[in-house]
């Protein structure tokens, strides 16, 4: 099992690397070349800056039972189809039970944005989100690996 991180704009890269070290798991951090990320433990892969380059690299390299850290519902759905386990930066574990609703919500919000009827703002990140991510990533690893 490997951990892949869709690192463009991901606030939990360092936490994910620390957890991978703790469990002795390989971690692959995928970022576009505009981001600076370096770590002696993680394998850092730089991809083109074009949209979805990191997503394409991840989906082409994951295997069954890998863990993927991503904020992207589309990538999460593709990961599920390859029997990988996606989790977001807040600790939400994507599953067959919740992905359809999330993709539907993304579609509706996109339509509203294009019609200038929706101006959603992301909430400011708080330490509880980091704790939730850490707890759920460890739980996911332990349920799949140990």
Cα 118 to Cα 99: distance, rounded to the nearest angstrom: 22
pTM: 0.86
The confidence score (pLDDT) of residue 40 equals 96
The confidence score (pLDDT) of residue 105 equals 77
Domains of the chain from N-terminus onward: 2-95+126-145 (3.40.50.720)
pLDDT lower than 70: segments of the chain: 104, 106-107, 118-122, 145-146
Q: Could you read off the pLDDT of 6-20 as tens digits, one per residue?
A: 998 899 999 999 999
Cα 42 to Cα 16: distance, rounded to the nearest angstrom: 10
The confidence score (pLDDT) of residue 145 equals 66
């Amino acid at each position: 099992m490997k951990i892949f991180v869709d690192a463009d704009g991901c606030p939990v890269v360092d936490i994910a690397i620390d957890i991978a070290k703790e469990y002795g798991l390989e971690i692959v951090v995928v970022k576009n070349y505009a981001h600076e990320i370096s770590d002696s433990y993680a394998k850092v892969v730089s991809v083109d800056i074009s949209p979805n380059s990191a997503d394409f690299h991840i989906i082409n390299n994951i295997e069954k039972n890998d863990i993927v850290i991503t904020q992207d519902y589309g990538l999460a759905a593709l990961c599920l189809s390859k029997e990988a386990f996606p989790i977001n930066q807040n600790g939400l574990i994507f599953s067959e039970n919740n992905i359809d609703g999330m993709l539907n919500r993304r579609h509706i919000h996109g339509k509203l944005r294009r019609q200038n009827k929706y101006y959603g703002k992301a909430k400011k990140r708080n330490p509880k989100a980091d704790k939730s991510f850490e707890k759920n990533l460890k739980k996911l690893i332990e349920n799949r690996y140990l």
